[in-house]
Amino acid sequence: MFDKQVYVNRRLNLRKKIRSGLILIPGNSESPMNYPSNTYRFRQDSNFLYFFGVDHPGFVGVIDIEDGKDCLYGNDFELDDIIWMGPQPTVNELGQKVGIPCTHPMKDLASTLQRAIRNGRKIHFLPQYRSENIIMLERLIGIHPSLISKYASVELIKAIVSLRSIKAPEEIAELDKAADVGYLMHTTNMRLAKPGITEQELVGAVEGVAIGKGYMPSFPIILSQNGETLHNHDHSQVLTSGRMLITDAGAEIGSHYASDFTRAFPVNGKFTEKQKGIYNIVLNTINKSIELCKPGVTYQSIHLEAAKVITAGLKDLGIMKGDVNEAVANGAHAMFFPHGLGHMMGLDVHDMEDLGEDYVGYDDEISRIDQFGTAFLRLGRRLQTGFVLTVEPGIYFVPALIEKWKNEKINSSFINYDKAEEYIGFGGIRLEDDVLITEKGCRLLGSKRIPITVEEIEAIVGKG
Ligand code: GLY
Ligand code: MN
């Protein structure tokens, strides 16, 4: 938890952006796995965490714009609970820590909201992703669960996106820490990887780095020799010499700030010429993209530049052909790079995605390009100082996609299908780093870059 003034200031900044009414932000409750008292690891809602800081289940925060008061609703534990859980802070003690002297038991929330509704006041709430909170909102303000997203306050969504998009120094310090844990996760993976070990053993070791520090992965780890499947959570294979391994993993530290990195390397620690050829195109692409990151530039334009570097590299290898700019304008690169260059990151690894990708990544000026591949770009708008985002280009050989495009002659003037087919079974390569946009450009998060050049990779993989 940050100093209480951080939360006081965040709520003051939010107040300045909302004209009138009540802002209602539910925190998360415990989520049972298989019976009520056997719960998943608790994860607080990130918006609640950002404005109210309390990392415990069962709270709701209310900001009253007109009367200037912020209140926290929650129930104190009873002796029966304390016997099982040990001493617990009271709601009022928690409120004091985040600058909220106004605390109430949860039963008082309904009457506060009903009074506001009777007085014709607007209640601002956000889109909800947990059914318990959807049902709670229905009970409190009478909106049918199917309509909660529709009636979510766009004014509140836009206000929160504008605040959370710009990371403050205390947040950047946490993001640097999360990146350092990500570094340890990936270098552990690289050292342990060798033919004969299973993907699942590596997942255990990588996750163990985060868990051993009391943290957790920022999303379920992606670790597979079948890197052509973008989010592959099957870890059942034994590592086999000659194959590439992709690992996409990051940490969520105690403050819940995240990191997200991807590396790919040969299982036996030595690149073949064919692997090196594709790998170095992706390496050039990530480096060029990071070079381009600075305030005022749209991330959409950087995504398209990345697509050009990939296309030019694949052309050099004879896999693509024709004019590079034309190929990218026609979306031909998306056969090999079928996803976006990156996303915002912060308290969520895909930051604020619960509020709506288009509100986070696009605006009145830059809208999503509706073309296969580029359509999946989560962040397109102009970069600003204080944004934190991922840069994650990749090249993949997806058999089903190659077959479909070849049969339908899609972009056949830009793709040498016979050559592309020689790479079926190659897998995929993605490289991902996390960057902070600074006044003059950007910098990588974390104190050291995870090994990334061919030489750095070959020096660490399998070295125990
Ligand atoms: N690292 C997983 C993702 O960005 O979707
Ligand atoms: Mn990512």
Instruction: Give the phi and the psi of residue 103 in degrees, each rounded to 5.
Output: -125, 150
Neighbours of 146 (CB within 10 A): 9
- DSSP code for 446: S
- Are 231 and 129 part of one and the same domain? no
Whether pLDDT at 306 is above 90? yes
Of the three residues 148, 164, 180, the one that is the final residue of a domain is 164
* Ion ligand 2 — residues with CB < 5 Å: 260, 390
Of the three residues 164, 182, 213, the one that is the final residue of a domain is 164
- Are 205 and 153 part of one and the same domain? no
Whether pLDDT at 390 is above 90? yes
Tokens of 384: 């600003």
pLDDT of residue 232: 84
Q: d(Cα 117, Cα 110) in Å, to the nearest integer?
A: 10
Q: How high does pLDDT run on average in the chain?
A: 97
Inter-helix orientation angle 4-17/154-165, to 10°: 140
260 lines ligand 1 (CB under 6 A): yes
Mean pLDDT of the region 327-347: 98
Domain that holds residue 397: 169-460
C-alpha distances in Å from residue 44, one per residue of 26, 54, 84, 411: 10, 8, 21, 46
Gap from CA of 166 to ligand 2 centroid (Å): 18
- Are 101 and 117 part of one and the same domain? yes
- Specify the 3-state DSSP secondary structure of 174: helix
Gap from CA of 98 to ligand 2 centroid (Å): 31
Whether pLDDT at 262 is above 90? yes
Q: d(Cα 158, Cα 152) in Å, to the nearest integer?
A: 11
- Are 143 and 264 part of one and the same domain? no
- Are 187 and 148 part of one and the same domain? no
CATH of the domain at 72: 3.40.350.10
- Are 150 and 176 part of one and the same domain? no
45 lines ligand 1 (CB under 6 A): no
Whether pLDDT at 89 is above 90? yes
- Are 324 and 347 part of one and the same domain? yes
User: Which residues are bridge partners to 63 per DSSP?
Assistant: 23, 70
Query: What confidence category does residue 237 fall into, taking pLDDT thresholds of 50, 70 and 90?
Result: very high
**CB of 60 closer than 8 Å to CB of 31:** no
- Are 143 and 185 part of one and the same domain? no
Q: For 172-196, what is each residue's pLDDT tens digit?
A: 999 999 999 999 999 999 999 999 9
- Are 218 and 274 part of one and the same domain? yes
Q: For 45-64, what is each residue's pLDDT tens digit?
A: 999 999 999 999 999 999 99
Of the three residues 119, 136, 164, the one that is the final residue of a domain is 164
Q: Which residues, in sequence order, are CB contacts of 280 under 8 Å at separation 6+?
A: 313, 454
At 203, which helix (H) or strand (E)?
A: helix 199-212
**pLDDT > 90 in the chain, percent:** 99
The structure tokens 């299982």 sit at 267
Number of domains in the chain: 2
Specify the residue with its C-alpha closest to ligand 1, atom 2: 248
Instruction: Give the phi and the psi of residue 190 in degrees, each rounded to 5.
Output: -65, -45
Q: For 114-139, what is each residue's pLDDT tens digit?
A: 999 999 999 999 999 999 999 999 99
CATH of the domain at 369: 3.90.230.10
Atom of ligand 1 nearest to the CA of 250: 1
- Are 156 and 183 part of one and the same domain? no
Q: d(Cα 102, Cα 84) in Å, to the nearest integer?
A: 28
- Are 184 and 150 part of one and the same domain? no
55 lines ligand 1 (CB under 6 A): no
- Are 145 and 189 part of one and the same domain? no
